[in-house]
């Protein structure tokens, strides 16, 4: 069952929940590198039995840094996408214009927040951890797709953030409080974005017949395939970063196991948790039941 949302209500909620970057990081608020940054269900270090406890924590933090960077990347395409969408609706519903501009402003703030955390990570971790990019090239490649496909991708990302926080982060008392605070504050604002994405998808699909809607769904899946290619590259980067941080070389068999488990963890983190989110599936179903069936036929590969 598809929920109905309103621009007025999301704007009102977002104005109440507003926070500043300076409230989250800086001064006494520092990362604690003696603690994990990511929940185990996303970091997936435990199955790597050949790693020591300390090494699992290092890998967990490398995954935390990649999470910051990958969110930085996706927000680089969400920001212009939302601005373009807002620009095409400047007349008419004032709440709509204001809610969309608020959304864009928050994403610009998140980009800055993720950069600040990344700087803090680089200063404290001691090893340079490369990430996929550059952000502009990735944003350009994604924005070249059908706007409906881009809108479904954005919807996927924002609901995925909800799932990460509610299912895995909120009740995890082991995590570094500072990193957890970032994830919490990001989640708070993404709640409203997910609702606005639902409205954007509905607006973009409104004048399309079933075939045209399915074209948007196929473009969403193509973007997913593009992201999956990036994740495979990211696992290789993480492997190199890990060996440097742990100051040891893994055997070929260990490397293979690392790649297999970490690709599964990355796919679940960035693809599976969004593709199987009940709200994403409900929106797909509202486009056409075929859309939901199509995505459900593919999602097990990422779970």
Binding site for Fe ion (CB under 5 A): 110, 190, 193
| Residue (17 or 303) nearer to Fe ion, CB | 17
Those residues with Cβ within 8 angstroms of residue 157's Cβ, 6 or more apart along the chain or in another chain: 74, 78, 274
Name the residue with tokens 């992201």.
227
What is the nearest approach in angstroms of Fe ion to the Cβ of residue 108? Answer: 9
Closest approach of Fe ion to the CB of residue 225, in Å: 22
CB 221 within 8 A of CB 295: yes
Which residue number, 110 or 164, has a Cβ lying nearer to Fe ion? Answer: 110
Nearer to Fe ion, 186 or 292 (CB): 186
The three-class DSSP label of residue 302 is helix
Nearest to Fe ion of 111, 287 (CB atom): 111
Alpha carbon 303 to chain centroid, angstroms: 16
CB of residue 78 vs Fe ion: minimum separation in angstroms? 6
Beta pairing partners, 29:
26
Taking the complex as a whole, how short is the minimal distance between the CB of residue 153 and Fe ion, in angstroms?
A: 12
Residue 29 backbone dihedrals phi, psi, to 5 degrees: -80, 95
Query: How distant, in Å, are the alpha carbons of 75, 82, 105 from that of 18?
Result: 18, 19, 11
Q: Residue 132: CB partners within 8 Å, gap ≥ 6?
A: 69, 70, 73, 138, 230, 233, 234, 237
Q: How far is the CB of 117 from Fe ion (least distance, A)?
A: 13
Q: Minimum CB separation from Fe ion for residue 15, in Å?
A: 16
Which residue lies nearer to Fe ion by CB, 37 or 114? Answer: 114
Q: Between residues 76 and 238, which has the closer beta carbon with respect to Fe ion? A: 76
Say which residue the tokens 């996927």 belong to. Answer: 156
């Amino acid at each position: 069952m598809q929920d109905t949302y309103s621009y007025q209500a999301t704007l009102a909620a977002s104005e109440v929940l507003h926070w500043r970057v300076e409230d989250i990081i800086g001064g006494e608020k520092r990362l604690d590198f003696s603690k994990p940054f990511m929940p185990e269900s996303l970091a997936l270090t435990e199955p790597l039995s050949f790693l020591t406890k300390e090494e699992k924590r290092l890998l967990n933090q490398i995954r935390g840094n990649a999470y910051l960077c990958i969110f930085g990347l996706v927000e680089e395409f969400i920001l212009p996408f939302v601005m373009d969408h807002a620009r095409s609706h400047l007349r008419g519903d004032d709440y709509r214009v204001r809610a969309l501009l608020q959304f864009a402003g928050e994403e610009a703030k998140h980009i800055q927040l993720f950069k600040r955390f990344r700087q803090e990570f680089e200063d404290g971790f001691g090893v340079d951890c490369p990430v996929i990019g550059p952000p502009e090239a990735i944003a350009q490649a994604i924005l070249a797709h059908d706007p409906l496909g881009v809108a479904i991708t954005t919807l996927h990302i924002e609901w995925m953030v909800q799932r990460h926080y509610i299912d895995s982060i909120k009740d995890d008392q082991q995590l570094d409080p500072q990193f957890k605070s970032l994830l919490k504050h990001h989640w708070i604002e993404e709640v409203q974005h997910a609702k606005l994405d639902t409205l954007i998808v509905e607006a973009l699909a409104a004048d399309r017949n079933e075939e045209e809607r399915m074209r948007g769904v196929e473009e969403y899946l193509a973007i997913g395939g593009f992201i999956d290619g990036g994740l495979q590259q990211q696992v290789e980067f993480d492997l190199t970063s890990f060996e440097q941080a742990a100051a040891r070389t893994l055997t070929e068999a260990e490397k293979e196991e690392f790649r297999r488990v970490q690709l599964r963890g990355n796919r679940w983190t960035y693809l599976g948790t969004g593709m199987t989110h009940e709200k994403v599936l409900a929106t797909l179903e509202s486009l056409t039941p075929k859309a939901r069936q199509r995505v459900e036929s593919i999602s097990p590969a990422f779970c």
